[in-house]
Amino acid sequence: MKHFTVRLLTLCFSLTAFFAFSQVPNDECSGAISLMLGQDSVVCHTNGSTSLATVSTYPAQCCGGSLNNDVWYTFTATSAYQTIALYNITSSYSSGFAYAKVEIFGGDCTNLQLVTQRFYYTAGDIDLTGLAVGQPYFIRVYGYDYYHVIDFDICLSETVPPANDECANATTIVPDVSQYPFTYNLLRTKGATQSLPPCGTGSKADDVWYKFTATSPSHGIQAYTGGGGDTIQYEIFSGVCSNLVGVKCGKLYANRQFYIQGLTAGETYYIR
């Protein structure tokens, strides 16, 4: 009987130790893994996983489904513009469920304040603007629901706003009458900030600016978005940056062209 008792105690101790040491260190906000930018402009933590994680008590903020086993990361803002990116998202359930929900919080673990949220399939990034330099932020990552354990890589980088982020630094484009309305210019809104409230629908307008001098009463604009379903919200102004006058507001769908009528040759117009 004594020999049996020793074996039973040894088994219980081994099981207890296994579960105690299997829990991931960043299972809760208080144990969040730090993403710290050094001399490099990007830092990554590879092999992130929700395997063996538990459900945090803080309620879900993101995107449908249900809150499930989550893990936490933290960073201290070194600039007002930074990017959180997730790569190589995979699911233990099936490749069709490689979804990650990402929530960014300010405050501290006892008083979290939601900054933004995203829902990604296989990969995606979040451009953060208006961050308070020197303040900590927290990142929560979890899968679509309780059954979907996800693995992923997460990176933090500084985002430099584009040079034409504001009207005063609008990129000049020259009308081209030979074939297309304008010479080619790369449009990139990554890292851009909002200059004015959006026209039309939408609640956010991280914008970039262009300007041209009209050479005729009518000009056409065409944007190649590189995707079949991409949409660009645009706005045309006359006047000067300190006193803009709206001329046209609309949406430009997937590589289509629109025309602006009633322009005055020799006058400068702005495209937002």
Query: What are 31-41's pLDDT values in tens digits?
Result: 999 998 765 67
What stretches of the chain adopt beta strand conformation (E)? 33-34, 42-49, 70-76, 82-91, 99-108, 111-121, 124-128, 136-142, 150-158, 171-172, 210-213, 219-222, 231-240, 243-253, 257-260, 268-271
- Token pair, residue 188, equals 């990139």
Maximum distance among all alpha carbons in the chain? Answer: 103
Query: What are 41-64's pLDDT values in tens digits?
Result: 788 888 899 988 988 888 777 776
| CA atoms lying within 13 Å on the CB side of residue 110 | 0
Beta-bridge partner residues of 172 = 211
pTM: 0.65
pLDDT for residue 74: 96
Query: What are 82-131's pLDDT values in tens digits?
Result: 999 999 998 877 656 788 899 999 999 999 999 998 888 888 888 888 89
CA distances from 51 to 25, 68, 143 (A): 11, 11, 10
Select the more confidently predicted residue: 59 or 78: 78
